Homo-oligomer: A and B are copies of this chain.
Amino acid sequence: MKGLARIKQDELGWVEKETPKIGPYDALVKPLALAPCTSDVHIVWGNAYMGSEPNRIVGHESTGEIVEVGSMVKDFKPGDRVIVPAITPNWSTVNSQKGFGQHCYGMGSGMSFVSAKDGTFAEYYHVNDADGNLALLPDNVSLEQAVMISDMMTTGFYGAELAEVKPGDTVAVFGIGPVGLMGVAGAYHMGASRILAVGSRPAAVKVAKEYGASDIIDYHNGSTVEQIMDLTDNEGVDKVIVAGGNENTLGEGLTVLKFGGVLGNVLHYDGVEKIPVPALGWGAGLSDKTIRGGVCPGGRARMEQLVKLIQYGRFDSSKLITHKFTNFEDIEEAMIIMRDKPKDLIKPAVILE
């Protein structure tokens, strides 16, 4: 079978491999929809690949059709159309039992795609523990919608959940790339009254407003901290979601946060050695401002929970997709677009039907 791989550092290319073998609890899936993620870009052209193996097929966002299931799989069968989460934990480890399947064996190891085996940008891919990690695609949910759940929606909503957004809260969302936009949507669906979204690209601003942002903070207009304090009569915000920015964003978020507030971080501080926490903004350790940050949850229960928002008409996750392709081989161009980030890009996707 054919797959799009990190041939070696800085080189993306097609490889021909054997179709994966599946174990008794696993499934073999062929893609119906694929989307590249910033982390795929970092794996190929950055320093995010932790493995040593060359020719590793990349990709972890997908929706697919089951081709084969192992003998012990009970709830799925060939032909089923399924949402495939980026995070497919071994649910049985001690970390998973404690509620952190995303770190089932260690940091972020719930994402076995790419880190432990070939990813989803292939004609077929392997999913461990099909009963525990797949969710049926409801008939009225489109492939465009479904493929945005695997990582974007679960991560962005997790940001809002980490921040413990409550009805009536004023929430600042730093960064309105695809994850930040989902953070806006998550905050909205948890009852935020105001959502101050930090970003400037017109395509993203448009979707941010559609997803519930009440105000857009553009850093071209001056300090984001000052703009947020102005908009809130110097009271600051109840909750903060950090979904984009740089090593100073955490500190900006803390600075605009009220005492007793919570900051939910889903930004990967890539290439940063020390993330500075400003003593002033954090009350020198004593402000009762909580800092949480993590990898999105995955697995079947999570996918089933999230897809219901789409299935029952409360949310349209597909608005992220600005660049749509229709052939399997287009995933290469989608990766390159993701790397080059043209101005009008939020998220590319390959939809195969």
In the complex, what's the smallest C-beta–C-beta distance from A285 to chain B, in angstroms? 4
Contact of A274 among B92, B277, B294, B307 (CB under 8 A): B277
- The A interface is mostly helix, strand or loop, or mixed, namely mixed
Can you list, as one digit per residue, whether each of A146-183 has a CB less than 8 Å from chain B (1) or not (0)? 00000000000100110000111110000000000000
Can you list, as one digit per residue, whether each of A266-310 has a CB less than 8 Å from chain B (1) or not (0)? 111110111111111011111111111111000111101111110
Contact of A284 among B91, B129, B268 (CB under 8 A): B268
Listed stretches A186-194, A326-334, A337-345; interface member: A186-194
Contact B279 A269 (CB under 8 A): yes
Listed stretches A57-65, A99-107, A222-230; interface member: A99-107
Contact A131 B92 (CB under 8 A): yes
A107-B259 CB under 8 A given contacts A94-B304, A167-B186, A284-B269: yes
A269-B293 CB under 8 A given contacts A168-B309, A193-B308: no
A290-B291 CB under 8 A given contacts A167-B190, A276-B275: yes
Q: Does A54 contact B (CB under 8 A)?
A: no
Contact of A290 among B168, B275, B290 (CB under 8 A): B290
A167-B288 CB under 8 A given contacts A97-B301, A190-B190, A277-B276: no
Q: Does A318 contact B (CB under 8 A)?
A: no
In the complex, what's the smallest C-beta–C-beta distance from A222 to chain B, in angstroms? 22
Can you list, as one digit per residue, whether each of A86-101 has a CB less than 8 Å from chain B (1) or not (0)? 0000011111111111
Contact B259 A284 (CB under 8 A): no
A217 to B346, CA, bound (A): 41
Residues of chain B within 8 A (CB-CB) of A202 are none
Contact A285 B279 (CB under 8 A): no
Q: Does A132 contact B (CB under 8 A)?
A: yes
A284 to B273, CA, bound (A): 8
Residues of chain B within 8 A (CB-CB) of A102 are 288
Q: Does A108 contact B (CB under 8 A)?
A: yes
A295 to B286, CA, bound (A): 5
A278 to B276, CA, bound (A): 9
Contact A99 B96 (CB under 8 A): no
Contact A294 B301 (CB under 8 A): no
A190 to B164, CA, bound (A): 11
Residues of chain B within 8 A (CB-CB) of A189 are 167, 190-191
Residues of A within 8 A of B (CB): 24, 91-103, 106-108, 129, 131-132, 157, 160-161, 166-170, 186, 189-191, 193-194, 214, 242, 250-251, 259-260, 265-270, 272-280, 282-295, 299-302, 304-309, 311-314
Given contacts A97-B301, A168-B307, A283-B295, 4 further A-B contacts (CB under 8 A): A251-B274, A269-B279, A276-B276, A283-B294
